[in-house]
Amino acid sequence: MGEETIVVVGAGVLGLSSALICQQHFPRTKVVIVARDLPGTESIDYASPWSGAHYRPIPDITPQGIYEASLARRTYDHFKIYAADNPDACISFTTGMDWLERPGDEYLTAKTRYQDIDEFRVLRPEELPSGVKWGASYKTWCVNTPVYLCHLLRRFILNGGRIVQKRLESLSEAFTIVENVRTVINCSGVGFNDPASFITRGQTCLVANTASQTVTRQNADGTWTFVIPRPAHGGTIIGGTKEERDYESSPRLETRQRLLEAAAKSFPDLLDEDGKFRVIRDIVGRRPSRTGGMRLEVEDFGMGRHVIHGYGAGGRGVEMSWGVAEEVLSLLRKWGAACSGPL
């Protein structure tokens, strides 16, 4: 029997991060990524490049929410080191601001849960914009996602990884892509016929106006307005919408107008000398959402084969990416996968 190969399904941020951590810790095991879409692809169903992306602490008190918050925090800690060592990854640390017009109790007690976040503090009443009832500032990161994904893919290939661009009809097909596959890592976004999975349409607008920090504002009507700068002169993301099970692929011009009007009202300092946003493009993506949160577990496929599922991260794929990759690594070790070499 030849050398064992790990197959990773999906080349979004979760798949690429998981593939890289496998290469790092299992250097004698081949790693192959099989994916329909690769970095550089402009597909509405390839969610990662459409992401903002940034870190924003979310005080969810459910067990799943607390778990996903830990994955995001581990990614935050990873990025602090990674950004310094890899400037070409286009990860930048800056100030993050949250402004809430109708804060829930989970936010009002957030200080005790988030006091260990770098530079976290609750804003004083006199620091809050008109209409805002609660606010906080903290140190955050933001990423130029199209550049970052290409960076990850390049690292994977230079480390000896192989890419197979192919649409899989079933997860079991992943075991037949190459020989000697006993472990598949499923980072396919919405999974394969998972009834808990669904898409959430997101529409944002990329503008040329420059922002120096991320700002997220909860409006009284339940909508959200946010600004996320993209490093390396990548523009600024103005957002955004969350529309569950909405499959419209084209940008809605009325949505763009509403987003820009709300941003102009909340962040007037971003406007140019003519009082306008300089629009580069509209962005529409389908976030891979899942009822109950993302799936991160092992499934026995019989005959000594296992699938490690890591999908359904919604709009937080980049935010949780390295935490997810570390969990994948832990599951690989626990289940004795890739045992052709020492783990």
Average pLDDT over residues 164-181: 96
Contacting residues for 193 by C-beta, under 8 A, at least 6 apart: none
Q: 266 near 238, Cβ under 8 Å?
A: no
Task: Return the DSSP state at 223.
Answer: -
Q: Is residue 16 part of a domain?
A: yes
* Any domain includes 9: yes
- The C-alpha atoms of residue 12 and residue 239 are separated, in whole angstroms, by 21
- Both tokens of residue 162? 């192989």
Amino acid at 14: L
Q: What would the DSSP string read from start to end of 162-213?
A: EEEE---SSGGGGGGSSSSEEEEEE--SSTTT-TTEEEEEEEEEEESS--SS
Read off the pTM. Answer: 0.95
- Asked whether the predicted pLDDT for residue 93 surpasses 70, the reply is yes
Confirm whether 342 is domain-assigned.
no
Do residues 76 and 142 make contact, with C-beta atoms less than 8 angstroms apart?
no
Strand 181-186 relative to strand 305-311, pairing: parallel
Task: Check pLDDT > 80 for residue 261.
Answer: yes
Residue 257 has pLDDT above 90, yes or no: yes
Residue 342 has pLDDT above 50, yes or no: no
Domain membership flag for residue 70:
yes
Asked if residue 41 has pLDDT above 70, the reply is yes
Contact predicate 216/97, CB 8 Å:
yes
Task: Give the residue carrying structure tokens 């390839």.
Answer: 46
Q: What is the CATH number of the domain that holds 283?
A: 3.30.9.10
Residue 339 lies in a domain: no
- pLDDT the model gives residue 343: 35
Asked if residue 68 has pLDDT above 90, the reply is yes
Q: How many domains does the chain have?
A: 1
Pairing type for strands 162-165 and 30-35 reads parallel
In this structure, is residue 341 part of a structural domain? no
Instruction: Compute how many other C-beta atoms are within 10 angstroms of the C-beta atom of residue 261.
Output: 12
140 in a structural domain: yes
For the record, the structure tokens of 105 come out as 């109790």
> Angle CA(59)–CA(109)–CA(116) in degrees, nearest 5?
70
Residue 306 forms part of a structural domain? yes
Domain range for 243 = 5-334
Q: Give the mean pLDDT of 266-293.
A: 97
